[in-house]
Chains A and B, each alone.
Chain A
Amino acid sequence: MAQFIARRFLYMILAFVVISLVTYFLMKAAPGSFLAMNVGVNGASFGADQFQVSPQVMQSIINHYHLNAPWYVQWWGFVKGFVTLHMGTSFEYPNTPTLQLIEETFPVSLSLALISIAVGLAVAIPFGIIAAVRANSWVDSTTMFAAMTGTAIPSYIIAVFLILIFGVWTHLFPILGYQGAQYYVLPVLSLAIPMIGASSRYLRNSLIENLHSEYVTAIFARGGTLKDAVFGNALRNSLLPLITTIGPLLAGLMMGTVFIEEMFGLPGMGHIFVNAAGRRDYPLIMDSAMLYAVVIMIMNLLVDIIYGVLDPRIRRSGRMG
């Protein structure tokens, strides 16, 4: 196990380097720069205070981020700053350290994604079980149809529906801002609903496969009921592979939060990320991209470790992956 984690850790470092390089070059390849844009819009259409940066500040930014230095010096500056948590400030928010910005906004995004996964699984698991146990009946087809419909519609369309139904017509839930748990309901639903479809279908198929396997025949031969077969045995074996889908799912959800936060006005990291990209705020682009990458990789690692702990074949032999 320790060896596995060590090896995975090395892969993560490698992946991190690659991701930071790719991000860096894509960012540089994008036309325009914060400096040029800033000059263009200074005091004009944007009018935002943050944009009125004095030439002195501009010069100190250029020095701090080595913007006139060769690419590898610049890149290394970003990476080193991120890794040592000395990210400094960004172009757009020169008065707020980036670290503080992240501390304030990232928990919102992460909790939104995690809660969505939890809610999605909490619904998908019973759905999947019911459909599998009643395989090929109307219960199965109805559940799976609903699930498929949910999957086929992207989160932001679902968000629009939810806003209409719960926010505009019935006023059951708030649709904008963040002042308490109820502000999470619609964003979480928007993210969870598409996921429920895919996950419940996955669980259904894997449970059906398990229920048709020989070891389940053997349970019936020992006098077990369908309930014994599902809850004592087959469900656990079907949930194991479902766990492995959570890693990639989370990656998708983290990206989904970017739109959803915008739509519901949640003060998450997504908003900052999008703005940073739009305004060529190099340090902020680098820092947020690296942060998302690290978080997603850590979550994947956690998921794999949990899988290893739950599957005796891996736990006992101590080998993984």
Chain B
Amino acid sequence: MALVEIHNLRVRFETDEATIYAVNGIDLMVEPGQSIGIVGESGSGKSVSVTSIPRLLPRTARVEGSVYFNGKDMMRATASELQAIRGHQIGMIFQNPHAYLNPTRTIGKQLMEPLLFHHLAGVKRARAMGMEMLDRVGIVNPKARFDNYPFEFSGGMLQRVLIAMALITGPKLVIADEPTTALDVTVQAQILRLLKEMQRELGMSMIFVTHDLAVASQVSDVIYVMYGGIVVERLPAKQLIRVHRHPYLSGLLASLPRVDEPVGRLPFIPGLPVNTRQPLSGCPFYARCQWHLDQCQSAPPLTLVERDHEAACWLADERRVANGQPS
């Protein structure tokens, strides 16, 4: 049984001015111990998709489809059932650690919360476990750091704390939503290594969201490429460079910064991002795709192109595009 099973997930936001179609029907599966990478440009619905697993979206979100976690139907779970899962079986790491920590509460108090909320330990034991965890994520002198406030930490250190917090209960799944985007490159590499190590060590599953294809292929077994609120391609991380099919992914890969270029530039594909204020019709990448056909006005389904590899593109299916280029 898969640990996470998402089927036809759709998320809309009803705001005062407009309806925002953030996620337009995605399927996603995470096996126990597996690591999934989700890549895609800003606004493609990555965060919304993963936040709907522990059902943490704001009340304005209309969520449809099915989400199963560890066999539990998350769409029908009660508030207390969800609460019992969050922070215990699902740990979350966010992009901006400064924003996701209470500025007026000590690191230690916040770190102990998952244990205390779930009655997994008393305060004394939680304190000891917290220090141990800080030590494991590489915080020097955890005893002294325990009673520090978030503003007394650097961004990289805080992200370590957030990792410690997410893993302290030994969850089955950790969701990391762009955990390194706010950090500089060297710190980013350290955090990635730490996360990967901890994941292996604890045998957890991981969903790793990122803009960065290189990072995704480094930490995950399977990569989901999202665009316009759908999954346009799913493939094993090892194959990423070799056999990608969707023109969007090809575009991303082609625009990856080279070694001789200044680092930190994001992949750039000409054209505007998808308008999320309309329901999706047809292929979301249609307007920006240089190979689009009339056929693309109707949505191409995600179809198997080879073992473990799916793409949502009419051309990919007919094998007229190899590595994103028409043959």
Residues of chain A touching chain B, judged by Cβ–Cβ distance below 8 Å, are: 212-215, 217-225, 228, 232-233, 236-237, 240, 311-313, 316-317
Q: Output the least CB separation between B153 and chain A (Å).
A: 12
- Of the candidates A214, A220, A317, the one whose C-beta lies within 8 Å of that of B99 is A214
Q: Quick one: which of B102, B117, B152, B165 contacts A233, CB cutoff 8 A?
A: B102
Alpha-carbon distance A236/B88, docked complex (angstroms): 26
| Chain B CB within 10 Å, residue with most, of A217, A221, A311 | A221
Main SS of chain A's interface residues? helix
Contact (Cβ within 8 A) B118 A215? no
Task: Indicate whether B83 reaches chain A with its CB closer than 8 angstroms.
Answer: yes
- Also in contact, A237 and B102, with CB within 8 A (given A219-B113, A224-B87): yes
> Is B186 an interface residue when CB atoms closer than 8 A count as contact?
no
B54 at the interface (CB under 8 A from A): yes
A–B Cβ pairs within 8 angstroms, 7 of them: A214-B100, A219-B102, A221-B90, A223-B86, A224-B87, A232-B105, A237-B104
Shortest CB distance B225–A (Å): 25
Residues of B within 8 A of A221 (CB): 54, 56, 86-87, 90, 92
Is B83 touching A225 in the complex (CB atoms < 8 A)? yes
Known contacts A215-B100, A225-B83, A233-B105; A220 and B56 CB within 8 A of each other: yes
Cβ contact within 8 Å between A223 and B149: no
- A313 with B87: CB separation less than 8 A: no
Q: A225-B117, A232-B113 known; 4 other A-B pairs, CB under 8 Å?
A: A223-B117, A224-B83, A240-B104, A313-B104
- Pairwise interchain contact B102-A222, C-beta atoms closer than 8 A: no
Judged by a CB distance under 8 angstroms, whether B268 is at the interface is no
Chain B interface (Cβ < 8 Å from any Cβ of A): 54, 56, 58, 83-88, 90, 92, 94, 96, 99-106, 113-114, 117-118, 149, 151-152, 165
A224 to B100, CA, bound (A): 14
CA of A311 to CA of B104 in the docked complex: distance in angstroms?
Answer: 7
Q: Which residues of A contact B149 (CB under 8 A)?
A: 312-313, 316
Please name all residues of chain B whose beta carbon is closer than 8 Å to the beta carbon of A222 when the two chains form the complex: 86-87, 113-114, 117, 165
Shortest C-beta distance, B56 to chain A (Å), equals 6
CB of B129 to closest CB in A, whole Å: 14
The answer to whether A236 touches B100 (Cβ under 8 A) is no
Report the bound CA distance from A214 to B165 in whole Å. Answer: 15
Contacts of A219 in B (CB 8 A): 102, 113
Q: Please give, as numbers and ranges, the residues of chain A lying within 8 Å of B100 by CB-CB distance.
A: 214-215, 217-218
Q: How far is the CB of B187 from chain A (nearest CB, A)?
A: 20
Asked if B83 and A223 make an inter-chain contact with CB atoms under 8 angstroms apart, the answer reads yes
A215, B102: Cβ atoms closer than 8 Å: yes
Partner of B87, one of A212, A223, A233, A312: A223
- B residues within 8 A CB of A214? 94, 96, 99-100
> Which residues of chain A are within 8 angstroms of B165 by Cβ–Cβ distance?
222
A217 touches B87 (CB 8 A): no
CB distance from B300 to the nearest CB of A (A): 35
Cβ B117 vs Cβ A224 within 8 A: yes
**B56 close to A217 (CB less than 8 A):** yes
Q: Indicate if the CB atoms of B88 and A218 lie closer than 8 Å.
A: no
- A219 to chain B minimum Cβ distance, whole angstroms, is 7
- Distance between Cα atoms of A214 and B105 in the complex (Å): 14
B112 CB to closest chain A CB (Å) equals 10
Candidates A213, A223, A233; contact of B114 at CB < 8 Å: A223
Which residue in chain A gives the minimum CB-CB distance to B120?
A223
A217 CB contacts on chain B under 8 angstroms:
56, 100
- Cβ-defined contact, A224 with B101, below 8 A: no
CA distance A312 to B58 in the complex (A): 29
With the chains together, A12 CA to B113 CA distance in Å?
A: 44
CA separation between A165 and B59, bound complex, in Å? 44
Q: How far is the CA of A313 from the CA of B85 in the complex (A)?
A: 33
**Complex: chain B residue closest to A221, CB-CB:** B92
Q: Which residue in chain A gives the minimum CB-CB distance to B86?
A: A223
* Inter-subunit contact B101/A215 (CB<8 Å): yes
CB-CB under 8 A from A313, the residues of chain B are 103-104, 149, 151
Indicate if the CB atoms of A223 and B102 lie closer than 8 Å: no
> In the bound complex, do residue B151 and residue A224 qualify as a contact, i.e. CB atoms below 8 Å apart?
no
**B86 lies within 8 A of A316 (CB):** no
Contact B104 A218 (CB under 8 A): no
| B152–A316 CB distance below 8 A | yes
Determine how close the nearest CB of chain A comes to the CB of B82; give it in whole angstroms.
Answer: 9
Task: Give bound CA distance, A222 to B165, whole Å.
Answer: 8
Q: Give Cα A259 to B90, complex, Å.
A: 60
Chain A residues whose CB sits within 8 angstroms of the CB of B90 once the complex forms: 221
